[in-house]
Structure 1
Amino acid sequence: MAKESKGLTSEQKKLLQNIGQQFQKGKNEKNGFKKIIIFGTVLILAAILGYSLLNSQQTAVTGDKIAVHYIDIGQGDSILITSGDVNMLIDCGEKSESAKLINYLNNCGIQRLDYVIGTHPHSDHMGGMSEIVKTFDIGECIIPELHSSDIPNTVYYEKFLDAIAEKNVKLSYAELGRNINIGSSVGTIIAPHSPDYGNLNNYSVGLFLKHGNNSFIFTGDAEKQAEKEMIDAGVMLDADVYKVGHHGSDTSSSPEFLEAVSPEYAVISCGAGNSYGHPKDITMENLSKYTDKIYRTDLQGTIIFESDGNDYVIKTERN
């Protein structure tokens, strides 16, 4: 990433002025020995200035952090992204996990969620969304636009829509290619690509998140059809951290998709001893071709990736 210059500090300006004065003095100096001393001084001052500038630029990058929380809510998904004073929540899991999730967000000091993404209307992703809308100040809620034949007639989805209307929360359909600023990070919507799937998983809203030199990808429960559409469309997929699709199911994370993502880290959100057998052995085998740094909420609890734009600090609830 090209480092952004924040301008010279007053100390750096004085140092630069001193270099200029010493250089001019050296040009006017007749004594050769004095010239050597003066030009040596110029070189030292220039080195100090260079270090000072580099240090200030490094601070600009490392001082601006993002945290991605893969929250352990059993067999479901919920991801909190925080950068500066901007917060995003992707999914919220089952309604039965609402109290646990709300408590976690409260402990993180969250009062406002600037963006809430409901990747797709399955209960393990949006079952408790009405409780989230009722509890927090919400800036905007983003969901996929469903074909009329695919709109679910479920209590939890109707309660979500009722809560949105009651609090007059802005509700938007996921717009392919839309950029969302999260602090100094940028999230880009990379899916869905079709207006009619007949499969709610493939409507999943996909997000590619870029923070300096670091990157994350989230694809909900998108299955192989939707993954192929992302590949064919040429959207950005190559990411450091891959939130493994569909809880590690063999319906997602195709070999072609994993090749496009080429993750350095993988995070699987699934429940301990779940009845689906997630993550599937074939998924783990395919992931192992790219990374051995695989984190699982069923084993390690909540997992947090902190990024300064260059490096990661990874924290787990359990070792």
Structure 2
Amino acid sequence: MAAVAALLALLPRGTGLRPFAWLVLAGFTFYRPAAVAEGRLKAVVMDAGQGLSVLVRTKEHDLLFDTGTAQAAAAGIVPSLNALGVRRLDRLILSHHDNDHDGGFQAVTDGRTVARITAGQPEFYPQAEPCRETQWQWDSVRFELLRPSENAQGLEDNDRSCVLRVVAGGDALLVTGNLGRRGEAELVGKYGGALYSQVLVLGHHGSDTASSGLFLHAVSPQYAVASSGYANAYKHPAAAVQARVKAHGITLLRTDLSGALLFELGDGNVYRGRLKTWKPYWQKKPFDG
């Protein structure tokens, strides 16, 4: 029952099922998610509506990339972190200063220990450090911060986004914030085939301003994830992006249709969480079949 409630809590906002989910979860005070093994990672692309928030977990560490809007954080992201037992963030990365990426900053950090904050535009957050090209290891998992250019002068805010690549074994996850085609081209020129990642979170929610053919070819993902709101006014993911993804033989996954998406990487295979077997909420009652 707790597992069902946790899944319902990660479904798209507006389903009417979330209040029930949190009531059930409240009864499981001692619930603990399955541990992450050494050298592996679990990632949750949250249902942030028309926004972005990605949780990356290793055996002993938790990292959050972006917080979504204040509304999304309060309604889903913070309750999801609590349900998953995330009481401390070893690192919070804020890709850039835009409400759909950092609007939930206060909600996420209130009452939660955050050891380190890294930001594409650090001037907007207390005690934040700038995104710089670097890498580190947690629990035999490698984290890479990539930069299209160390010179941010003249760049639009989107192209100042932090870019995170996480490598577990031979598997990798790549998250680019709102990076546009210019930034993508610089990444390809700088890193080339080293960008290869099985899971790519599409830039700018699947906007046609990002996810160029050049970039998709360099990354060559198995899965591309569009973090966008249901029936959003921008029509993300854009039809042109969907066509490019399909032309490259990539499986497109969408939070607006499936809710939060769960991945496990580290053994040469990308495992998608049980949400892959669930029909969207408007096609299936939560407890039938």
Q: Judge same fold: TM > 0.5, yes or no.
A: yes
Q: Which has the higher contact order (CA 8 A, sep 6+)?
A: 2
Structure 1, 111-120 or 292-301: larger mean CA deviation: 292-301
- Match in the other structure for 2:64: 89
After the TM superposition, which residues 129-144 of structure 1 pair with which residues of structure 2 at under 5 Å, given as runs? 129-144=105-120
Counterpart selection for 2:249 from 285, 288, 291 = 291
8 Å Cα contact 1:221/1:246 also seen in 2: yes
Percent identity reads 28
Number of equivalent positions: 239
Give the 3-state SS of the residue equivalent to 2:110 in structure 1: helix
Where does the alignment leave 5 or more consecutive residues of structure 2 unmatched?
A: 1-35, 280-289
**Residue 254 (structure 1) aligned with residue 212 (structure 2):** yes
8 Å Cα contact 2:198/2:270 also seen in 1: no
8 Å Cα contact 1:82/1:88 also seen in 2: yes
**Residue 117 (structure 1) aligned with residue 93 (structure 2):** yes
8 Å Cα contact 1:192/1:205 also seen in 2: no
- Match in the other structure for 1:107: 83
- Match in the other structure for 1:208: 165
8 Å Cα contact 2:148/2:190 also seen in 1: no
8 Å Cα contact 1:62/1:310 also seen in 2: no
Once the 2 structures are TM-superposed, how far is the Cα of residue 303 of structure 1 from its aligned partner?
0.4
8 Å Cα contact 1:119/1:206 also seen in 2: yes
Counterpart selection for 1:279 from 237, 242, 246 = 237
Distance in 2 between residues matched to 1:111 and 1:279, nearest whole Å: 32
Where does the alignment leave 5 or more consecutive residues of structure 1 unmatched?
A: 1-60, 152-156, 165-169
Cα 1:203–1:282 shift into 2, 3 Å:
same
Partner deviation per Cα, 1:224-276 (whole Å, 9 max, x = no partner): 11111111112621111111111110000111111111111111100000000
Distance in 1 between residues matched to 2:191 and 2:39, nearest whole Å: 29
8 Å Cα contact 2:39/2:141 also seen in 1: no
Once the 2 structures are TM-superposed, how far is the Cα of residue 220 of structure 1 from its aligned partner?
0.5
Distance in 2 between residues matched to 1:77 and 1:124, nearest whole Å: 7
- Match in the other structure for 2:129: 172
Question: Which amino acid in the other structure matches residue 298 of structure 1?
Answer: D
Give the 3-state SS of the residue equivalent to 1:116 in structure 2: strand
Give the 3-state SS of the residue equivalent to 2:92 in structure 1: strand
Distance in 2 between residues matched to 1:129 and 1:185, nearest whole Å: 26
After the TM superposition, which residues 24-43 of structure 1 pair with which residues of structure 2 at under 5 Å, given as runs? none
Once the 2 structures are TM-superposed, how far is the Cα of residue 197 of structure 1 from its aligned partner?
3.3
Question: Which amino acid in the other structure matches residue 196 of structure 2?
Answer: D
Once the 2 structures are TM-superposed, how far is the Cα of residue 198 of structure 1 from its aligned partner?
4.2
Bigger-Rg structure (1/2): 1
Once the 2 structures are TM-superposed, how far is the Cα of residue 130 of structure 1 from its aligned partner?
1.8
Partner deviation per Cα, 1:82-105 (whole Å, 9 max, x = no partner): 000100000010011122211100
Cα 1:73–1:62 shift into 2, 3 Å:
closer
8 Å Cα contact 2:159/2:180 also seen in 1: yes
Which structure shows the bigger proportion of residues in helix conformation?
1
Question: Which amino acid in the other structure matches residue 71 of structure 2?
Answer: S
- Match in the other structure for 1:77: 52
After the TM superposition, which residues 182-201 of structure 1 pair with which residues of structure 2 at under 5 Å, given as runs? 182-193=138-149, 194-201=151-158
8 Å Cα contact 1:91/1:118 also seen in 2: yes
Once the 2 structures are TM-superposed, how far is the Cα of residue 187 of structure 1 from its aligned partner?
1.2
Cα 1:196–1:254 shift into 2, 3 Å:
same
Instruction: Using structure 1 for the length normalisation, give the TM-score.
Output: 0.71
Distance in 2 between residues matched to 1:184 and 1:63, nearest whole Å: 6
8 Å Cα contact 2:52/2:66 also seen in 1: yes
8 Å Cα contact 1:237/1:261 also seen in 2: yes
8 Å Cα contact 2:58/2:139 also seen in 1: yes
